[in-house]
Amino acid sequence: MAVSPIDIQVYNKILSSIAEEMGLILARSAFSSNIKERRDFSCAIFDKDARLLAQAAHIPVHLGAMPDTVRVVRDEFNLSEGDVIITNDPFKGGTHLPDITLVSGVFHPKTEELTFYLAVRAHHADVGANNPGSMALTTSIDEEGVLIPPSYFSVDGEIIEDYLGELITQMRNPRERAGDLRAQVASLLRGEKRLHSLMAGMPKERLFELTENLLQYGNRFMSATISEIPNGTYEFLDYLDDDGIGKESLPIKCRVTIKDNRAEIDFTGTSRQVKSCLNATLSVTRSAVYYCFFCLVGEGYPVNAGSLEPIRVKAPKGTLLNPHPPAPVAAGNVETSQRIVDCVFGALSRAIPQRIPAASCGSMNNVAMGGEDLLGKEFTYYETIGGGMGARPGKDGLSGVQVHMTNTLNTPIEALEQTYPMLIERYAIRDGSGGDGKYRGGDGLIRRYRFLLPARVSLLTERRKFQPYGLLGGSPGKPGENRLYKRGKDGYEPLPGKCVIDVFQGDSIEIRTPGGGGYGKKG
């Protein structure tokens, strides 16, 4: 039977909606604020060959990474129905240790053949690192938490309770960790149920035919987008502020080569890998590059393995963007990925300036904290804070939003204060932090936490030294600031972009996030 464009689009939307529904189940079932409120997770569907078929519109940094994880599962395990594999290994398709992935196989109800894989990746508020929240400045991956090699989490539909118990006792707040992991299993089960319904109403041959046509459609879609960019080689250089332990100005060099309907992105010339956790795995590097090109495609694009094929990513081994294991990588996923986006867009602005925005805030502004509450129970909390979006051709940038590689939501003040021993003293737009220009960059945010009990706080932030760039004569956005207000003292102490500090009852920490760059000359 012939496959029409309508058939392909319907199939694409069905798979995408299943991935979205998996995310809804996870958010409603999760225990931690980071998952249920901020929606820091991604859900995706793969075919039997571990090729990405659909990913919900969740976290962009997971886009190019989860396929690597599923390929590892395909190659290392012979799954049966009801089996679930767990891993967070950054060098086997992971991103950083707090992102724990569960993978299951979905078997055809009639032939009992493995037909799909499902994957759910969620950021856990703690995975047993040296510091609460497992998102601190580190110099060894051993300091970042429990590294989980690909292992059986569930067999024949039953969670291995001894394994789960052993795993969560190595982490803070084990009850919350267990609740979030069980919510991920519930998400997989919902995806399996929906795919079984799909397969029951469709011959196996028709299913495979639709899959191949969907992947070809994705390839054509991305190829057509790349072909609109003039052939040539375009370069851009930007920097990370520092590695947090003494090394300044880490260069990321990007060379984008367009030839007809193919793109090669080469990061030769980028800094060597560093001793701290700013290293980004190759999976994260690919994710950031893919995201940039999907932005060019626009809304309604098919997110699948076919649409990734026209893009080739090169990052020399041993560099910041493809480190040798076991390099620490906690911040590579959240901060270095943002700078990769800035570099790729910067290079593309040389080719198609009328389609590329100025730099956005360039940092996820990570805040992790933990301590004991009034009942003596240990708590951990992690969040990212929005900033200014870069101005765009024809439009100002938005203010106070999550940009690029993060797509999480804001944690409501009420939810935070109800759950943790702290108050939010101030939460406001940082007026005037966006870059000037014909179109203004968006403003950053100001968020001040006052601690009701002693706690340990970790900050992983960027763009505190190098400003988000403007384009075509637009001014750069203002860099961010981190401040410590000591109880009973006037003024504040400036904090580094990356640090771990102990705060006491009545102390406050204020994060002032960067604004976006301006676009075009004013007047």
Q: Render pLDDT for 92-147 as a digit per residue (tens, 0 to 9).
A: 999 999 999 999 999 999 889 999 999 999 999 999 999 999 999 999 999 999 99
pLDDT at 1 over 70: no
Q: Taking the alpha carbons of 275, 245, 126, 290 in that order, is the dihedral positive or negative?
A: negative
User: For residue 462, what are its two tokens?
Assistant: 């960027």
pTM of the model: 0.95
**Mean pLDDT confidence for 223-242:** 98
User: For residue 42, what are its two tokens?
Assistant: 């991604």
**Mean pLDDT confidence for 150-176:** 96
pLDDT at 428 over 80: yes
**Mean pLDDT confidence for 389-398:** 97
Average pLDDT, the chain: 95
CB atoms within 10 A of CB 397: 33
Greatest CA separation found in the chain?
77
Give me the pLDDT at residue 445, please: 98
Omega of the bond leading into 479 within 30 degrees of 0 (cis): no
Instruction: List the 311-314 sheet strands across, edge first.
Output: 232-242, 248-259, 262-266, 311-314
Q: Is 354 exposed, middle or buried (0-12, 13-18, 19+ CB in 10 A)?
A: exposed
Whether 101 contacts 123, CB under 8 Å:
no
Give me the pLDDT at residue 201, please: 85
Residue in 381, 273, 287, 401 with CA at minimum distance from that of residue 340 = 287
pLDDT at 58 over 70: no
Indicate the range of 1-10, 57-66, 336-345, 417-426 predicted with least confidence. Answer: 57-66
pLDDT at 496 over 90: yes
**Mean pLDDT confidence for 454-483:** 98
Q: What is the DSSP letter of 517?
A: P
Residue in 414, 401, 404, 333 with CA at minimum distance from that of residue 100 = 333
**Mean pLDDT confidence for 158-162:** 97
Give me the pLDDT at residue 197, please: 95
At 486, give phi and psi (nearest 5°).
-85, 140
pLDDT at 63 over 80: no
Give me the pLDDT at residue 461, please: 98
Give me the pLDDT at residue 299, please: 76
d(CA 278, CA 266) in angstroms, rounded, equals: 19
The secondary structure of 401-445 as a DSSP string is B--TT--PPPPPHHHHHHHSSEEEEEEEEETT-SPPSSBPPPPEE
pLDDT at 56 over 90: no
CA distances to 78, 307, 495, 501 from 422, in Å = 47, 45, 20, 16
d(CA 104, CA 119) in angstroms, rounded, equals: 7
Residues 6+ apart with CB under 8 A from 88: 94, 96, 97, 98, 99, 100, 101, 127, 146, 147, 148
The secondary structure of 8-51 as a DSSP string is HHHHHHHHHHHHHHHHHHHHHH--SHHHHTT--EEEEEEETT--
Q: What is the DSSP letter of 142?
A: G
Q: Render pLDDT for 4-45 as a digit per residue (tens, 0 to 9).
A: 999 999 999 999 999 999 999 999 999 998 899 888 899 999
Q: Render pLDDT for 318-349 as a digit per residue (tens, 0 to 9).
A: 999 999 999 999 999 999 999 999 999 999 99
pLDDT at 300 over 80: no
